[in-house]
Structure 1
Amino acid sequence: MKVIKDISEAVNSTNVKPGSVIYTGGNAATPQTLLQQLVKDKSIKKVELISILLLGDIQELFSKESCQRIKHRVIFSGPYSRKALNEGLATYQVMHLSNVPFQVKNYLKPNVVFIQVSGPDKGGNYSYGTTVEGVQAAVNTAKANGGIVIAERNRQMPFILGTTIDESNIDFLIDTDYPLPVIPYLRPDETAHKIGRLITELFITDGCTLQYGIGKVPEAVTDAVIDKGIKDIGIYTELFTDSMQKLIEKKIVTNKFSDVNFSISSIFLAKDKNGYDWLDYNSSVQNRPCNFTNNILRIAQQHKMIAINSAIGVDLHGNIWADSLKGRQIYSGIGGQADFLRGSILSKNGYGIIAMESTTNNGISKIIDMCPEGITTTAIAADPVVIVTENGAFNPLGLNLAEHAIGIAHLAEQNTKEMLLRKIYDSPEFYKPREALSDKSPKGFIPYESIEK
């Protein structure tokens, strides 16, 4: 391992030759110094860059000029890559998070890896810090095929226990010191609290294992779990956030029914520096690669696995989409949603849950008759996914397609619900839909008012 002072000693057209395939860490561990040099050095060209949600000061990486030199393969899009993707300047690499390491090793085959690390520990091992996902597979693939690994050791990166990289596998190391990207805290409003209460009252009990992400609804679920007095929770997730830290600090998380006594995640994000500092050498959490955390069979083995994810929309059949606004208008990515939905359904007494507000901020219904043409779905009608909005919860188990449609329509806001129910009733395709116009709650649907009694 060569420790360098000037980043150009490592990131240059000699090491990153035309035809190179680069894999970069992402999320809070986006190696910003390395990527900034990739933008700065115009002699680096005709290379590919594989990424998962790049954050931080890297906007120029997706400029029109940069995209002419760098072919982006974006597995999960963020605020900087979204415009480039939808203007044909970058490519969308569609895959489940669980499958990233396999495809990296066997198909994408990077020969250059950019990472951010902390450490070393007393054994000479560096932590991958807040992001493992497919990074370990990329490192192993590059080293097995004569490639190079370039790391920046950020003074502010926590040493998260679990998956590490030996110093012998790092070719170049440069020391940096800058704040990690943070996620804004979104205070739950009454709509989010209704969703959180529904999920907690109906599906979360003592000893459950939880997976959820960031946003108002996860925060509301956390508050509801605390208010309900639930105990002995386990955490097995792809993304660890401040709300989960809160449950650990309140001793609600014990991982009593897990194989290990610590929470497991592949990616870590926090709302401030204190959240990242809390992770440093903290034995209550460990990181793992995403082919471990998102393995459907491992998810299924968790005790009463409750996976809570959000979506952009759902149609009357129960098709769910989360990565796109239209068929080819990419917003984010498949991520691990399908992994956790399907794994949790296989868990004994587990549930895969889609939690979302019934309308957008602009008042547009997220519940529609038919999904947009060409849309990528993270769950199809045959997946027994529970759908929850502020209006109620719908469980499709045991129901036919007409009963799906009627129950899902009841999740919508009042005007949309009435319109959809009339459409169901008037449609010749649905079997005996008279129940559509009934005042009674349909099969599989539990209204919010029922948990308030």
Structure 2
Amino acid sequence: MTVALPPRPDWSHLIKSGSRVFVGGNAGVPYALIDDLIKHSKGFSDIELVHMLALGDTRWAKEEYRQLFKVNTFFIQGDEIRRAVDEGRADYTPVFLSEMSSLFSDGTLPLDAALVTVSPPDEFGYCSLGVSVDISMSAVRNATIAIAQINPQMPRTAGHSFIHISEFTACIEADEPLQAIEAPAIDSVTERIGQYVAMLVEDGATLQFGVGKIPSATLKYLQRHKDLGIHSEMLSDSIMDIIASGAITNRKKTFHPGKIVTSFCMGSERLYKFVHNNPHIEFYPSSYVNKPTNIAKNDNMISINSALEVDLTGQVVADSLGYDFYSGIGGQVDFVSGASMSKGGKPIIAMPSTAQNETVSRIVPCIAEGAGVTTSRGNVHYIVTEYGIASLRGKSIRERALELIRVAHPKFRAHLLAEVRKHYWVPHFQQKYPTDIPELGAIQLQKMVIQGETFYLRPLNPADERRLQEFFYSHTKETLRLRYNYDPKQMSREKSCNLVSVDQNSDAALCIVRQEGSRITIHAVGRFYYNEHDNSCEAAFVTRETQQGKGMGSRLLIKLIDIARKRKINKMLAFCRADNKPMIAIFEHHGFKRLFSGDPSEVELELPLQEPEAAEGAEQETENDH
């Protein structure tokens, strides 16, 4: 069957000066069509070009076309668009990606014409919007006329991507490569961020992510997960490797099970070939994919987005640097909202802790003058940097500030604490800022499975003040008596603050926690205090009663011994009540020897740290408990 194509555009009969014209975006910009319009633009002026992100040479935004075109973009991308916005020759309209289409359908931004790239029609006359369904479908359906650039290199994609050739008033045929972007190299910072984000993702989760280093790094560390799904406004090259790994099955999705759902894709030519006629990947309009209630239909929905800066209350700035608009709102708020409403969902903001070669902190006391809040403090659940995961949901302003200072770059932590103290966001007795334990390595959070349950070992930090109080008040009188040698009645905020505010460069304090979403419970704490006068340290630990006998104390002690050895400390001491036989047994199991004590009610033990064999054997024994 031969399908008749519409005629070439006669621009003088299709548009006029002052028209509002939509231009397809992302990787599907109809450049040949725009060039044809420019070539035949004599007599035209003040044509408003409306579009979202546009890859490639956005030549229509150049100074030489300022009389012909006025640009109105929903997302700032590329030098020409950014320069035009900065110079006032172009406008930026902030809007959620889920609501862009409604601007056309409800007449807020009525369209005189829509210019889009499509694949050649099939035998029945249907063309595909291919890699850029997004808001293009709505633009075509709501514009007075639609004009197509028919490009044989545009993939045919499954889903709701098809438009019949009869819906176009005019067209041109132009065979040109789609705009491509190569996957960025993953550096050490984004590598660590990816590892931390991956820790928040459980088997069977459904993922949303963008383009760039952080999504690439995260997907790299998810390749051993099982039954993951994808419901994401966009896809990039990084999906191909994780699909090949077998981690993506879409079986556990509760909305469009068995299918990857997306709205557009941007990447290499290899990606565009990958999505061509791929029945496992379905493209739908952004109004559908980004609708928060649709997103929330996926149980365990994980959204992964980025930010330019975050203040210490959790406000996220993503589209501006002070008064300079940098990008756009895009789909961040849509997916943060949808993931928040999802059963078991987790909205994550992931970003490097610094910018401009570590001279500027992205975590700030307050957002920059002129900057706008993209995602409110009430929406944020997790902020992830290369220094860890800040869990904010259900946290007070004080706890949020301390959590965020903990994941800021170490050289900015003292300043951040000093700034929030000015506003009484933290109490006067909060003197120390969070510090890392260098000997734990780049990743300060270590996952462990104990008798089938997942726990995490990490440094104790100032944000744990309330959790340590809860841990203290969970103990029986017997546990308190054996640990403290008396029956303490109270753990005040000030005392708890002192216990969790540790200079981890000299002393060391670790905890084992259970984390279910934003619910964090301390189950064991171990620490040592450094004695400078004889280069020794004194160790102690305590475990929640319900977890005793599972090896948590041994795990903490092994880690403390390892840290002390790496710090070249000569010996580790421990003091136990003589009737605390379980604790004495743990110390002796790991090589501690009893010393003579004049007090029969107390046992003093010592471990020379120049003899590693005993502890190494015990460590192997404990690891076999997994």
Give the alignment partner of residue 408 of structure 2, picking from 404, 412, 417. Answer: 412
CA distance in 2, matches of 1:11, 1:23: 17
Q: Deviations over 1:212-237 (max 9, x none)?
A: 111111111011111xx201111000
Q: Deviations over 1:398-429 (max 9, x none)?
A: 2111221121112211121111112223x143
Q: Does 1:224 align with 2:244?
A: no
Q: Tell me which residue corresponds to 1:246.
A: 241
The code of the aligned residue for 1:19 comes to G
CA distance in 2, matches of 1:30, 1:450: 53
User: Which residues of structure 1 form unaligned runs of 5+?
Assistant: none
Structure 1 residues 433, 113: CA separation in 2 closer, same or farther (over 3 Å shift)? farther
Give the alignment partner of residue 374 of structure 1, picking from 356, 370, 373. Answer: 370
User: Which residues of structure 2 form unaligned runs of 5+?
Assistant: 435-459, 468-503, 505-509, 513-558, 560-626
Q: Tell me which residue corresponds to 2:427.
A: 432
Q: Does 1:185 align with 2:169?
A: no
Superposed, which structure 2 residues align to 1:6-25 within 5 Å? 9-10=8-9, 12-25=11-24
Q: Tell me which residue corresponds to 2:326.
A: 331
Q: Does 1:215 align with 2:212?
A: yes
Q: Tell me which residue corresponds to 1:133.
A: 134
Contact 1:392 1:411 in 2 (8 A): yes
Contact 1:402 1:433 in 2 (8 A): no
The code of the aligned residue for 2:48 comes to E
3-state SS of 2:158 partner: coil
Q: Tell me which residue corresponds to 2:192.
A: 194
CA distance in 2, matches of 1:177, 1:89: 31
Q: Deviations over 1:232-258 (max 9, x none)?
A: 111000011111122222221111122
Q: Deviations over 1:178-222 (max 9, x none)?
A: 111111221211111111111112x11110000111111111101
Give the alignment partner of residue 291 of structure 1, picking from 275, 279, 287. Answer: 287
1:374 is displaced (CA, Å) by 3.0
RMSD of Structure 2 on Structure 1 (CA): 2.3
The code of the aligned residue for 1:255 comes to N
1:438 is displaced (CA, Å) by 5.5
CA distance in 1, matches of 2:83, 2:16: 27
Contact 2:230 2:261 in 1 (8 A): yes
Q: Tell me which residue corresponds to 1:69.
A: 68
Q: Does 1:236 align with 2:231?
A: yes
TM-score by length of 2: 0.67
Specify the structure having the higher radius of gyration (Cα).
Answer: 2
Q: Tell me which residue corresponds to 2:275.
A: 279
Q: Tell me which residue corresponds to 1:347.
A: 342
CA distance in 2, matches of 1:429, 1:35: 57
CA distance in 2, matches of 1:165, 1:288: 13
Q: Deviations over 1:33-70 (max 9, x none)?
A: 112233332432222111011222332x1112312221
CA distance in 2, matches of 1:211, 1:57: 28
The code of the aligned residue for 2:191 comes to H
1:362 is displaced (CA, Å) by 2.5
Q: Does 1:358 align with 2:353?
A: yes
Q: Deviations over 1:113-169 (max 9, x none)?
A: 100001323432111011111111111112xxxx21110111111111112111121
1:73 is displaced (CA, Å) by 1.0
The code of the aligned residue for 1:15 comes to L
1:297 is displaced (CA, Å) by 0.5
Deviates more, 1:311-320 or 1:247-256: 247-256
Contact 1:12 1:44 in 2 (8 A): no
CA distance in 2, matches of 1:444, 1:233: 32
Query: Runs (4+) of structure 1 moved beyond 6 Å?
Result: 444-447
Deviates more, 1:152-161 or 1:13-22: 13-22
3-state SS of 2:329 partner: coil
Contact 2:210 2:305 in 1 (8 A): yes
Q: Does 1:101 align with 2:101?
A: yes
Contact 2:58 2:81 in 1 (8 A): no
Q: Does 1:39 align with 2:59?
A: no
How many residue pairs match? The answer is 438
CA distance in 2, matches of 1:323, 1:232: 33
Deviates more, 1:371-380 or 1:156-165: 371-380
TM-score by length of 1: 0.92
Contact 2:120 2:151 in 1 (8 A): no
The code of the aligned residue for 1:121 comes to D
Deviates more, 1:17-26 or 1:375-384: 375-384
Q: Does 1:267 align with 2:264?
A: yes
Deviates more, 1:49-58 or 1:288-297: 49-58
Q: Tell me which residue corresponds to 2:153.
A: 156
CA distance in 2, matches of 1:37, 1:77: 24
CA distance in 2, matches of 1:433, 1:299: 43
CA distance in 2, matches of 1:191, 1:438: 22
The code of the aligned residue for 2:28 comes to A
% identity of equivalent residues? 32
Structure 1 residues 241, 436: CA separation in 2 closer, same or farther (over 3 Å shift)? farther
Structure 1 residues 361, 284: CA separation in 2 closer, same or farther (over 3 Å shift)? farther
CA distance in 1, matches of 2:214, 2:511: 20
CA distance in 2, matches of 1:343, 1:421: 33
Q: Does 1:206 align with 2:203?
A: yes
Contact 2:6 2:168 in 1 (8 A): no
Q: Tell me which residue corresponds to 1:113.
A: 114
Q: Tell me which residue corresponds to 1:175.
A: 173
Structure 1 residues 343, 450: CA separation in 2 closer, same or farther (over 3 Å shift)? farther
Structure 1 residues 97, 436: CA separation in 2 closer, same or farther (over 3 Å shift)? farther
Q: Tell me which residue corresponds to 2:25.
A: 26
CA distance in 1, matches of 2:511, 2:81: 43
Contact 1:396 1:444 in 2 (8 A): no
CA distance in 2, matches of 1:409, 1:42: 58
1:4 is displaced (CA, Å) by 6.7
The code of the aligned residue for 2:220 comes to D
Contact 1:133 1:289 in 2 (8 A): yes
Contact 1:395 1:444 in 2 (8 A): no
The code of the aligned residue for 1:183 comes to I
CA distance in 2, matches of 1:236, 1:13: 42
3-state SS of 1:99 partner: helix
CA distance in 2, matches of 1:179, 1:129: 13
CA distance in 2, matches of 1:380, 1:113: 34
